[in-house]
Structure 1
Amino acid sequence: MKKAAYFLLVALFLLSFPSSDGAEAKMVITRTEHLNVREGPGTSYPIKRKLNKGEIYTVAQEKNDWVQLKLSTTETGWVSRQYVADMNENMQATVDRLRVRSAPSSQASIIGYLKLGQTVEVLDTNSHWTRIKNGTLTGWVSSDYLASATSSGTTSIQSKSGTVAVDVLNVRTKPSQQATILGKITFGQQVRIIGETADWYQIESPGSMTGWVYRTYIMTATLYITVLEDGTNIRSKPSLQSQIQGTAKRGQQYRVIAKEGSWYKIELSHQKSGYIADWVVAVVRNAGNTGTIKNKTIVIDPGHGGKDSGTIGSGGMMEKTMTLKTAQMLKNQLQVAGATVILTRKDDTYLSLAERVSMAEQHKADAFVSIHYDSSPDGTARGMTIYYYHSLNDYPLALSFDPFLSQSLPIPYRGIRFGDFHVLRETSMPSVLFELGYLNNAQESSIIASDSYQKQVTKAIVAGLQRYFSN
């Protein structure tokens, strides 16, 4: 009797674990960049690491709205359920003749190939390798050349032509900012579009390079630019020292012939051409699109307020006062351009970070802009910086301000940087945070306080928003 009970306990113990020959473990793919992995199922637990978008992990367990992932053979961590998608064991090859190997190594023997777009069943992962099954073929392929057939939303389409609309565009192995770069294509280059997701185009470029590019930077119609300011100079050559052929009014559009450095070569009347600087225009998809922000809802967030003064600079200048001044001036300029503008605070009121995010969500904003000023330990740092959080959601918005903030402003431009800020991380719409200069730098604080700088920098932000919404 004791012996029978012993064997019964052993059987129950073995049944409590999945068989290696049975059903495969559940797998998920990450849906966002810089995904926080926590030590437990909740935001109160410490962050132990971050994951990139498009990474695949086996699920150890699920609890409420949290998923525990197997990060390695010895490590696990918890992520919010909303930021991962079930794999459903479906993946697609993103290149033609993808090599299937006998083991997870580039030195292992090749046992077969996958065609471009071929769907496979995912069985396991090992570092940068994925074990797949397709019919009778089972083996390992490089994860860099697979995309989720379910979460990516890849759609094959009737091929169409497109034109590169930025100076240099990376072509990647799959629709992810973290995917391997196959090569680069340049402004004005023609490509053939053969597939698409919500954010990416699968293209074939001259030279038979096939890969994925961010679709914002591919135009499927003739390229046009629209002029942002009255009196914009059109020159005979791509240089500020060259002869002025004429001037253009705000809203005028021209067909783009080519891009030379920071200049567009444009078509003029009577088969003539001229050059116009790229920092005073916006690229539009079709003739007739003026790059307007009319009817767009923009939420402007003046940082700090109330009991939170923010940085206190030279002469007692408070950050909360300057952010409100900048935000009010920016609001006036955006309203003149036709935008609907919401300020998270209109006076010296304290708001929590969650309240600021909630306001943007409630108004279903098309963009969220947070205004701040910086400080440094020794008071010597200078410059303005743009911060973003999501590579696909926020970075294109941040990039739209680049040509305007890097030109002719009295405060140096430090560029675009990743920032893990609550108001960027928790907002669902495209969001950026500006640090528009160092208040505790005596020289820079006097510039910041001037009306001329406030007008210049808010004008640049408006131009960047117009550029963004024209694409």
Structure 2
Amino acid sequence: MRRGRWLAVLFCLCWLMIAAWPAGAKGENENTDELAVVTADRVNVRQGPGVPYRPLANVHRGETYRLLDVKDGWVKIEWKPNRTGWIATPYAAPVQRMEIVQEDRLRLRQEPSLDGRIIGHLAQGDRVAVIQEEGEWKQIVTNEAVGWAAASYLAAAEPLRNSQRTGVVTADSLNVRIAPSLDAERVGRLVRGEHVEIVETKQDWYKIVARSGSGGWVAADYVEMKSGQAVESEEDAVVASVSPVGVSLAAIQGNGPRRYVSRWTRGPIQALAGKTVVLDAGHGGKDGGAQSVNGVVEKALTMETAERLKEKLEMYGARVVLTRAGDDYVPLSARVAAARLYQADAFISLHYDSAADRDASGITVYYYDRFADYGLAQSFQGPFTQLSTLPFRGIAFGDYYVLRENERPSVLLELGYLSNPSDAGTVATDGYQEAVTTAIASAVRRYFE
């Protein structure tokens, strides 16, 4: 009897354990990783969940990463193998699923409606991250935008293979871009013989991770699989590396059949080559400028904007001079003298506004000389109008010393009101700083084109 009771107890315990086992538990071999997708142009990955933590890297819109944790408005991701960091939740979203576009030139809209403004088009075969559904529409993230597409033209994507392919760069100099397009911003460069891991293929582009940990998109023509599946021969690789300027499609004669190498490019597009731009970060040192109620100081913000903008303009080939390189007090006369000394093709003074009216909001471009400055000021109208974060207040005459006494084409930009709590919270974010400096760089390019 005693043994029978023990067997009965043991039987009951087994059933209790089976009932308590999670219904959704998965085997170790199944992929249970969640993904987060980046929703802004360029976002800092930080060491910890907060702005004071040191930036480790940049990630870009449309890129997906393993989602590890969510904490106090921050998302923890694995941004490269065995390396983790945090990004702010306004610039990332959990991925519901990855899907493939089934229709060429599928319209991407601002709202989930046929009346929604068209903000772009998708190509058949594009792999996109779905972050939300509403009726017959799905909100998706691509490298170029976040928008809504008709759900009927999307289909579930096959999971990416865990085993990455290794490639070798076959060109002397290969541009790495933030998106699979020749018009996308260049974020790095690889040299012949460098090994990369290919993590995604999109039409004629590879998404790669270099041994240094940096990544982006490169033209597939100039990367050869270690197994020899990319370019047809060593001759093709040599021609790709020395391709002449201005040729879009050329025939190569040889002993074998006639072959073609397409999409030859000039390398980095130096739209501002030969131009000198002086960036004037407003205030500094003992002159702190405006200050928001939550402690954002104008002199620190203008310096951050100037440094980001300098990097972008230099990528376009410009020679960029800063009127101050740190928290230094620089007299107005010295700022104007820098424009004269370096024979600036454009002088841009960066500021953040303040007003007694706490509702005052937005961006303003100021000029002084109708003939010398107005053309430069006008170039900002398009890029600033397209910014969705703050309203563009327009172009106005401004009797400021750095404009009035300047002999070079010059403008003064007020990039938001620190006296407005909403503006102040916006302008201090990574997303705004990235968006506004991209708009300024675009305006400068327009001016010189």
Instruction: Please give the TM-score of this superposition, normalised by the length of structure 1.
Output: 0.40
TM-score normalised to structure 2 length: 0.42
